[in-house]
Structure 1
Amino acid sequence: MKQFAAALAVGGAGAALAFLLGLPAPFITGPAILVTLAGLGGVAMAIPVAARDLAFVFIGLTMGTGVTPEVLDAAGRWPVSLGLLGLSVLAIILVCRFLLMRLFGQDGRTAVLSSAPGHLSYLLGMADAGGLNVRMIAVVQSIRILILTLSVPPLVILLDRADMVHVAVRVPMSIFALGTSVALALVTGFAFKRLRLPAAFLIAGMAISTATHLSGSVAGHVPQWAAVPAFVMLGILIGTRFSGVSLRELRQALSAGLLVTGVAIVIAVAAAFLAARLTGLPLDMMLIALAPGGVETMSAMAQLMHVDATFVTAHHVARLFLLTFLVPFILGRQKDGGATAPLDRHDTAH
């Protein structure tokens, strides 16, 4: 318990500091950075498996809240751009996987999770559950998020279309709905675990949230007081995986992150140009909708630039939904034996 308490204290401080500094995804990146530094300084930290699984349930629940009947209904009106979105996501994964395996010597499974454009929590959950190189994946994906986040303001200035429009306030779900969803997700998670599904509790939370929001039985997002601690826990988990990382490994991960992000942006921009040409819809809207990640930033961007927010949201939800099924499918076809650890470890998550 002392190691868990130390992890919570350091991770909480890292989250607060990152939030104050305005870092991207502060409640994940902040704890990851500070826990990493504390671990390198000799501080012993660990997360019990039960705490990790509970955090994954809450993270999974947050992922399904965007899949509403309204979004699905709207998505049916844009088959061309959604089709090109799917092709661009597949192209990004396959091209980046090839480059990471060829240039950086990554195993196939690690390369797939490093290449996927988005769904950070899901990817890291699968990496941890599958015993893969979480350190490499975390750095590569964090670089992608950082670059996408930092590129948004210049895009606004370049297009000269921004004004001070407030983003719509999201309404949290009720305490009863949250409690019921958590209970259902825990039961489903244990069932998935018996079936040896990777990231069982993460997938369970997402499945329950998606089903309840689509059916209309639950409305609203997971309250911040419940979601933020779960993301902090994920950041702590990432940080503990950096124990023993060398400077050479870190440089390699940073280089891989820059490469993956550059390739993803080039492919996404090409898809956006083609989609705009074929549909006649505005290019700026397509660029935001087909961006390879940064769903929260891009949704806010849609509001600021007076483009169709439903269009943008539908495409980003579709990207996350596609990745949910596409990533496990591609992982299952890898023959390199990249994951040697069992899918669900029963030891303490160090």
Structure 2
Amino acid sequence: MLKRTGITVGLGFLGGWLATLLSLPLAWMLGPLFMVLCLSLMGVNTGIDKRLHRTAIALLGLFIGSRIQADELLGLVLWYPSVLAMLVYMALMLFGGYWIFNHANVGRMNAMFCAYPGSMNSALVLAERANGDLRWIAISHSLRLVTVVSGAAIVASFFVDDVTLRSSTSSFTIMDGLPLVLATLCWWLGRLLKIPLPEFLGPMAAGAIVANLGFDYSLPTWIVLTAFLVLGASVGARFSGTQWSQVISMGRYGIAFALFALLVAALMAWLVSSFTHLSFLAVLLALIPGGVGEMAVIAMVLDIDPVYVVSHHILRLLLLIFMTPLMIRIANGSAKQ
């Protein structure tokens, strides 16, 4: 796995470098994503060690947490319009996605999990418990993730003149290591308490603690960009071992669902932004099911409050977790029919 991870990261670096030369938006995430995706479908054995992927998520959580101020959290009560929109959006994704995938003849139960609004890992775990076909579910969610993440980044780039990461300290000192130690401890505590996404929420809490104690802390830019690279390469590597015939067979339905997710999210975001002070881009990133880490990355480079975006995705994840028993019962009931 170490060799495969090294090859994948190297390919991702090449993709990020090429994307930077071409001045593409989010070069150090989309470049690795598309480079690894294309080579994976060409037969290259790619993959990212889960520990490295989780470390990248943890660094991202620490980076976001360091921007959180306690007094800003009072604004949560003002976000209820987009929270309500997110609930409606989740329902539309479940019913609309089920209708789309039901036409793929993969079975009612598999169609249900293919339409799961985000959280690919949760969908696969649930589907496995219900004896679902993980092959189709993994392909559909991978296509959704790639389409949504790349689509969101490209669409967002039209609203800004330059999509770049704000510069931060380039050197790394001993004092910079103290928040990393605290982040590790919070990660471990999160796992101990069995909270969702402990590798993300734990370090994010650590960053918030450091920030609110009065320390002016920011991860060096090269560390943040490395986390972007790993996240992008990880998405592309999900297609390792996938045959073109499988992608073609399921691809039209997966892409149709992803486009449906983007279009409906854009409509909901437009409605919310039209009647509130919330910006269209912020609501869009908060709604679309592209993954917590990926949407947080896009929010940061666009200078959108990452706390606002992340809070919506975490809430959706919690709701999906609470829906787990119902989803399994529905899936098992559908399989018996």
Residue 235 (structure 2) pairs with residue 231 (structure 1): no
Give the whole-Å Cα distance in 2 for the aligned partners of 1:167 and 1:6.
26
Is 1:140 matched with 2:141? no
* Percentage of pairs with the same residue: 18
Cα distance between partner residues in 1 of 2:253 and 2:282: 30
CA gap 1:138/1:40 in 2 versus in 1, 3 angstroms: closer
> For each residue in 1:53-87, what CA deviation from the matched residue of structure 2 results, as whole angstroms up to 9, or x when unmatched?
322221222232332246335x27xx55x221221
Closer, same or farther in 2 for the Cα pair 1:64/1:13, shift >3 Å? Answer: same
- CA apart distance, 1:240: 2.2
SS state at 2:255 partner: helix
CA RMSD of aligned residues (A): 3.8
- Residue number among 76, 80, 89 corresponding to 2:86 in the alignment: 89
Runs of 5+ in structure 1 lacking a partner? 115-122, 157-163, 277-284, 303-311, 339-350
Aligned-residue offset at 1:124: 6.5
- Distance in 2 between the 1:135 and 1:145 partners? 15
Q: Which moved more, 1:165-174 or 1:12-21?
A: 165-174
1:12 is matched with 13
* Cα deviation 1:194-213 (Å, max 9, x = unaligned): 45555432232222223332
Which residue number corresponds to residue 57 of structure 1?
58
Secondary structure of the residue that 2:284 maps to in structure 1?
coil
Distance 2:215 2:123 in 1: 30
Q: Please identify, of 217-226 and 90-99, the stretch whose mean Cα deviation from structure 2 is larger.
A: 217-226
Q: Distance in 1 between matches of 2:163 and 2:264?
A: 32
* Deviation larger for 245-254 or 222-231: 245-254
Question: How many residue pairs end up in the alignment?
Answer: 300
> How far did 1:13 drift?
0.9
Give the direction of change, closer, same or farther, for the CA distance of 1:151–1:266 in structure 2 (3 Å limit).
same
Distance 2:117 2:176 in 1: 30
What is the CA–CA distance in structure 2 between the aligned matches of 1:48 and 1:296, rounded to whole Å? 20
Whole-Å separation in 2 of the counterparts to 1:195 and 1:260 = 33
**Which of 321, 325, 334 is matched with 2:315 structurally?**
325
Greater shift, 328-337 or 86-95, is seen at 328-337
Partner of 1:206: 204
User: Could you tell me whether the CA contact under 8 Å between 2:59 and 2:203 is conserved in 1?
Assistant: yes
1:309 paired residue number: none
After superposition, the Cα gap between the structure-2 partners of 1:127 and 1:187, relative to the gap in structure 1 and judged at 3 Å, is: farther
- Equivalent of 2:181, from 177, 180, 183? 183
- The equivalent residue for 1:308 is none
CA drift at 1:223: 1.9
* Counterpart AA for 1:188: C
Distance 1:9 1:286, change over 3 A: closer
Tell me which residue corresponds to 1:287.
280
Give the deviation of 1:34 after TM superposition.
1.8
What letter matches 1:181 in structure 2?
P
Q: Residues 142 and 252 of structure 1: is their aligned pair in 2 closer, same or farther, counting only changes over 3 Å? A: same
Please tell me the residue identity of whatever aligns with 2:309.
R
Contact 1:112 1:331 in 2 (8 A): no
Q: Decide which moves more: 90-99 or 190-199.
A: 190-199
SS across alignment from 1:291: helix
Secondary structure, counterpart of 2:276 in structure 1: helix
Alignment of 1:136-175 (within 5 A): 136-152=140-156, 171-172=168-169, 175=173
Q: Deviations over 1:224-272 (max 9, x none)?
A: 2111112212222222211215222333222111110100111111122
- The answer to whether the 8 Å contact 2:165/2:300 transfers is no
Match of 1:98 in 2: 95
Give the letter aligned to residue 290 of structure 1: V
Q: 1:263 and 1:87 mapped to 2: Cα distance?
A: 14
Query: How many Å apart are 1:146 and its aligned residue?
Result: 3.9
Closer, same or farther in 2 for the Cα pair 1:151/1:192, shift >3 Å? closer
Question: How much has 1:150 moved relative to structure 2?
Answer: 4.0
Distance between the aligned counterparts of 2:124 and 2:219, measured in 1?
23
How far did 1:136 drift?
Answer: 3.5
Q: Is the 8 A contact 1:3 1:45 kept in 2?
A: yes
Partners of 2:30 and 2:164 in 1: CA distance: 24
| CA–CA distance in structure 2, aligned partners of residues 99 and 256 of structure 1 | 8
Residue pair 1:15, 1:31 contacting (<8 A) in 2 also: yes
How many Å separate the matches in 1 of 2:166 and 2:317? Answer: 32
Moved more, 169-178 or 95-104: 169-178
Q: What does the per-residue CA deviation read over 1:35-55, in whole Å, with 9 as the maximum and x for residues that have no partner?
A: 232233333334333323322
What 5-or-longer segments of structure 2 have no aligned partner? Answer: 103-109, 129-133, 287-294, 330-337
